[in-house]
Structure 1
Amino acid sequence: MKNIKALVLIALVAFSSCKEEEKGLTVAWVSSTEDTVWNTKTYNQSVEEIASDVVIDIDTEAQEQEITGFGGCFNELGWDALGMITPEEKQQILNDLFNQETGSKFNLCRMPIGANDYAVDWYSFNETEGDFAMENFSIDRDKKRLIPYIKEAQKINPDVAVWASPWCPPSWMKHSKHYACKANPEFNDLPLELSNTEELVSRFITEPEYFEAYALYFSKFVQAYAKEGIDISAVHVQNEYNSAQNFPSCVWDPKDLGVFIADYLGPKFKADKLDAEIWLGTVERPQIERVEDVLEYKNTKEYVTGVGFQWAGKGAIESVHAEYPEMQLMQTETECGDGSNDWKAAEHTFDLMKHYFKNGANSYMYWNMVLDETGKSQWGWKQNSMISIDSKTKGITYNPEFYLMKHLSAFVAPGSVKLATKGNDDNAIVFYNKVKNEVVILAYNSAEENQEFQFNIKDKKVRTLLEAKSFNTLTVSL
C-alpha cells in the first residue's frame, strides 16, 4: 500500500507543485535517517485525495515559552580531543558547531567551575585550606584548555553566551576534605569511612565563614573570566546537588542552598555589581519539594532567574513550571548514554526534547560536544558525544545526535516561541519565528515504513511523505 501511495504521489507532483505555487506556500526541508544524514529535499505537496497517516494541527496563535538557545558543554577532555587533529579539521568541527550560517548555530553553552567528570583531573581555583579571603584564587588552569576552547567558539560566534556550574567547591570547604562523595578505589582515593551516598545532608561546611568565602569564590570567578574577555551569563549554584559521585560532587540539603543563595551569593553579586544571573541548578531529582525548599527560603526567589534540570530532574519540570511560571527553565545536560553513539541514542534524545519543550523549557543543552573514541571520563564512565575523534586513526565521526541537535538548533532561532499542537503530535515539536513569520517543525517518523504526514497551519496544509525512521525539519514560510 505504501509503495502504491508513493507512486501516486510521484505521478501527481507537477499538479501539486503548481497548486502550492498558487497558494504561495514555501517549505524548506531537511531529513536524516541512520543511513543518509542531512539530506536537503525538494518539497512537493502531496495530494489531498490520499488520507494522511499522521495529522497535526498547528495554531500559530497558541504561543507558549520563548526559546533562548541551544548548545553543549566546554570540557577539558573535549579540547584535548580537538588537539589530536589538524588545525583545519579542528576549525571545521568548531564551525559545524558554532557557525551561524552553516553550522549548528550554538549560542548558549555550559562550562564547569573547577573540575567536573570530564576534566583531566581534579582541581579547583583555590585549594589552599583556610584561605577565606581567596588570596590564592587563580584561573590559570583554565587558560590551558577551557578558555582557549571558549575563545575559539567566540571567534565564530562572538555572541555565544556561557553559563557555569561547579561540580564541587574547593575540597577544604567540605567535611571530608575530598572532591568525591563516593569512594571508588579504582578512580579516587577517598577513604571508605568518609564515603557517604546519603541525600539531603550537606557535605559543604555550612558555617558563615565558609558561605562567605564560597560566595567570594563565585564572584572572583565571574570577574576573572570577564578580564579574559568572557562574560559569564549565569551561574547554576551546584551540579546535581543530590548526587554523591566518585567524581567531583557535593551533596547539599536544599534548605542550605537556599541559605547560601539568599544570604550570601545573591547579596555578594549585588554588592559587586555583577550582571551574571543566579540559577537554581542543576536539578536531577523529580521531587518538587527539593526545589521548593531552596526557592521558598526567605527572599531566594528575588535572586534566582531560572531553574535547570537534567536526568531524573525531568520529572520535576512540569510541576516547577506550574508553580513558578515566572522562572526561566533549562534542560542543562542531555542524558549522555553509555558511549553507544547510535541511532537509538538519538531517538532517546528526541523523546527528551519533546518532554522538556512540552513542559516549558526555554533552552536545551547537549553534554560533550567532542570526545575521543572511548568517550570515557577520567572517572570511568563512557558517554556519548556529538562528534568522536579516534585517537589512533585521527578519524572524525559525526554521531546521530549531532544531526538531531542541528535539526533543531540550526532552524529554531533565539526569540522563537514554542507552539501548541493538536492531533497525532507525539512525534513533532513545533516553533514559530515571529521575525521571519515562519513555522519550524521537527518531526520524527518513528514507524518502520514511510508515512504520510499532514500539518495544518491556518488555511494551509503541508503534506508530505516522511521516510521510515527519519528526523525531519520543515520550515514553512507563512
Structure 2
Amino acid sequence: MKTLKNIIFLIATLIMISCNNVDKTLVVDVFETSAAGNKLTKITEFQNSGEKVSIKLNPEQTFQTITGFGGAFTESSAFLLNKMSKENRKKIIDAYFSKEGAHYSLTRSHMNSCDFSLSNYSYTPVEGDKELEHFTIEEDKDDLIPFIKDAMAASTDGFKIFGSPWTAAPWMKDNNNWVGGKLLPEYYDTWALFFSKYVDAYKAEGIDIWGFTVENEPLGNGNNWESMHYTPDEMTNFVMNHLGPKLEADGKGDLKILGYDQNREHLKEWVDSQYKNEETSKYFDGTAIHWYASTFEVFPEELQYAHNKSPNKLLIQSEACVDAEVPVWKDDAWYWKKEATDWGFEWAPEKDRHLHPKYSPVNRYARDIIGCLNNWVDGWVDWNMVLDTKGGPNWFKNWCIAPVIVDPDNDEVYFTPLYQTMAHFSKYIRPDAKVIGLDNSDEKLMATAAQNPDGSIAIVLFNEFENPKTISLSLNEKNIEFSIDAQAIQTIVIPKL
C-alpha cells in the first residue's frame, strides 16, 4: 500500500514539474515602420527602454467584423499607370494587391467623373434618355477597367469594390451643371436604373461590384468640383423608394448600399434619418464616412452613436488623403514631421481651426485607422493609390498626396511611408477578422488588435512620441517582451496557438 502511495506521489510530482516547465513565452513576428528608417521591417533584436507598457489581449471580448482595407481606383491613378513602363506598372499593382504586398481587400471607384478625373464625363451622355438606352462605360475602358483587372490578377484572395457617384449628368439636375444642384424628382427612377446598369456593364467586363455609396459628399464641396446635394431625408427617400426597390427588382438585392459618405461631424443626423425605423433602414447596409473634418480628431462619440443606432450595419471609412498638399518627393523624413496642412488650415471657420493644425502625414493615417478600429469602424479606404509629383493630375487642380508617387516622364516610383502605414493594417488584418479587446497601460501608445479567420492575431501599435517604449504583451498566461522605437508603427502577429 505504501509503495502504491509512493508511486502516486511520484507521478503527481512529475506532472507538476512538467507543467512548470511548459514554455510560457509568446511566439510573435514583429514588423516595424519608423522615422528611423524601418519599412515594414521584421524586427528580431530589441533594446529595452525606460518606459514600460503592459498590453493584455482579451480575444474572448469581440467587437466588429472587418470588411477590409484599401484604396480607390481613380482615373488619375489609372492614367498615370498607363504612362509607366510595364515593369513599374506591375511593381505598383503588385505592391498594393499581392499577398507579398499590402494585400488590399476593400476598394472604391467613381461612377461618372470626379475631381480626380481628367475631365467631366458621364455614362449617360444623351439628354432626356430616361431609360438609359445610351448608357456606356466607354470612358473607363482605356484606364480604370484595365487597372482594376490587373489588380484582380495580382490578388490571390480577391477584393471588394464599391462605386460612388459624385454627380448625375447635368441634364438630370435642377441647375443643369456638373457642380452642386440636386437631382430632379422626375429622374429619381432613372438615377436608380443608373446604378443597376453600372453593375451590368462592369459585370460584362468581368468585374463584380460589391456595393455603392449613394452619393459622394452629399453636403457638397464648396461648389468646386462634381457634386450633387441631398439632405438626410432626401437620401433616405431615394434609397427607400427608388434605389433599394430597383436593385431588388433587378435581382441585385445582395449589393451593399452605404448612406451618407461625408465627414463625421454630421454623422448623427444622417444615421437618425437612415435608421429611423424598420422601413427607412431596410435597404441601407451601412454608412460611409470621410475624415476631412479634422486632421487628428477621430470623433469617437459620433462613431459610437452610429454603431449604437444600428449595431448590425456596416460603418466604413470610404475616403481619406492628405489634401491641399503637393507631394514631397523621395524624402521619407517629411512624412513623419508636423509640417503638412490640410484644406482647413486656411479655410475652416475660426471655431473649427483647432481641428486643422499642422500634422505629420504618417501620424494622421495611423492615429485615424487605430481610432476608427477602436470605435466600431469595420473598413478603411484611402483615396488615390497613385499620383504624380504635382499631386495630380485632375481637371480641378485639387492637389493631394497618395501613398505611391510617380514621375512618369522619368519612369520613377516613390513608395512614401504612407504606403507602409496602410500595409500595417491591410496586410495583416484580413476580411472577416474580429476586433478584440485589449488592456493598455499607456494612454499615449495607440493600440488595436484583431483575430483573423485563421486564428492568428494582429496587434497594431503606434508610438508617435520621441521616446521608445518596452512592451510586455500577454495572452492566455503567455507573454513576451519587446520594444517599439520612437515615432514608429508596429504590427505584431501571433500565429494561431
2:342 matches 1:362: no
* Counterpart amino acid of residue 462 in structure 1: I
Offset of residue 435 of structure 1: 3.8
Corresponding residue for residue 198 of structure 1? none
Corresponding residue for residue 361 of structure 2? 345
Corresponding residue for residue 279 of structure 1? 258
Structure 1 CA distance for aligned equivalents of residues 270 and 197 of structure 2? 28
Corresponding residue for residue 76 of structure 1? 75
CA contact (8 A) 2:96 2:103 kept: yes
Corresponding residue for residue 146 of structure 1? 144
Corresponding residue for residue 434 of structure 2? 417
* Counterpart amino acid of residue 415 in structure 1: D
Corresponding residue for residue 5 of structure 1? none
Deviations 1:403-449 (A, max 9, x none): 00111111112121112222225533333335443321111222212
Structure 2 CA distance for aligned equivalents of residues 71 and 408 of structure 1? 9
Structure 1 CA distance for aligned equivalents of residues 136 and 389 of structure 2? 32
* Counterpart amino acid of residue 53 in structure 1: K
Corresponding residue for residue 480 of structure 2? 462
After superposition, the CA RMSD in angstroms is 2.3
More deviation in 227-236 or 20-29? 20-29
2:453 matches 1:452: no
Structure 2 CA distance for aligned equivalents of residues 418 and 302 of structure 1? 26
Offset of residue 368 of structure 1: 0.9
More deviation in 312-321 or 136-145? 312-321
Structure 2 CA distance for aligned equivalents of residues 381 and 73 of structure 1? 16
Corresponding residue for residue 212 of structure 1? 189
2:398 matches 1:381: yes
User: Tell me, what secondary structure is at the counterpart of 2:225?
Assistant: coil
Structure 2 CA distance for aligned equivalents of residues 56 and 83 of structure 1? 46
Offset of residue 261 of structure 1: 0.5
Structure 1 CA distance for aligned equivalents of residues 235 and 21 of structure 2? 57
Matching of residues 243-262 of structure 1 within 5 Å: 243-244=220-221, 245-262=223-240
More deviation in 285-294 or 388-397? 285-294
Percent identity over paired residues: 26
2:293 matches 1:292: no
Offset of residue 214 of structure 1: 0.6
* Counterpart amino acid of residue 251 in structure 2: K
Corresponding residue for residue 119 of structure 2? 121
* Counterpart amino acid of residue 301 in structure 1: S
Structure 2 CA distance for aligned equivalents of residues 452 and 306 of structure 1? 39
Offset of residue 22 of structure 1: 3.1
CA contact (8 A) 2:307 2:376 kept: yes
CA contact (8 A) 2:161 2:210 kept: yes
Corresponding residue for residue 291 of structure 2? 311
Corresponding residue for residue 414 of structure 2? 397
Structure 2 CA distance for aligned equivalents of residues 428 and 462 of structure 1? 19
Structure 2 CA distance for aligned equivalents of residues 205 and 51 of structure 1? 60
User: Tell me, what secondary structure is at the counterpart of 1:22?
Assistant: coil
- Residue in structure 2 matching 1:130, options 128, 131, 134: 128
Deviations 1:313-341 (A, max 9, x none): 75332211111111111111123332446
Query: TM-score with structure 2 length normalisation?
Result: 0.83
Corresponding residue for residue 104 of structure 1? 102
Matching of residues 32-111 of structure 1 within 5 Å: 32-38=33-39, 40-43=41-44, 52-100=51-99, 102-111=100-109
* Counterpart amino acid of residue 77 in structure 1: S
Structure 2 CA distance for aligned equivalents of residues 122 and 256 of structure 1? 25
Structure 2 CA distance for aligned equivalents of residues 205 and 25 of structure 1? 58
2:162 matches 1:167: no
2:200 matches 1:223: yes
Unaligned regions of 5+ residues in structure 1, if any? Answer: 1-18, 182-202
Q: 1:30 to 1:21 in 2, by over 3 A?
A: farther
Offset of residue 297 of structure 1: 7.1
Structure 2 CA distance for aligned equivalents of residues 456 and 404 of structure 1? 24
Q: 1:435 to 1:271 in 2, by over 3 A?
A: closer
Structure 2 CA distance for aligned equivalents of residues 46 and 22 of structure 1? 23
Structure 1 CA distance for aligned equivalents of residues 91 and 192 of structure 2? 39
Offset of residue 374 of structure 1: 0.8
Offset of residue 285 of structure 1: 4.5
Matching of residues 18-29 of structure 1 within 5 Å: 22-23=23-24, 25-29=26-30
Offset of residue 213 of structure 1: 0.7
Structure 1 CA distance for aligned equivalents of residues 319 and 21 of structure 2? 41
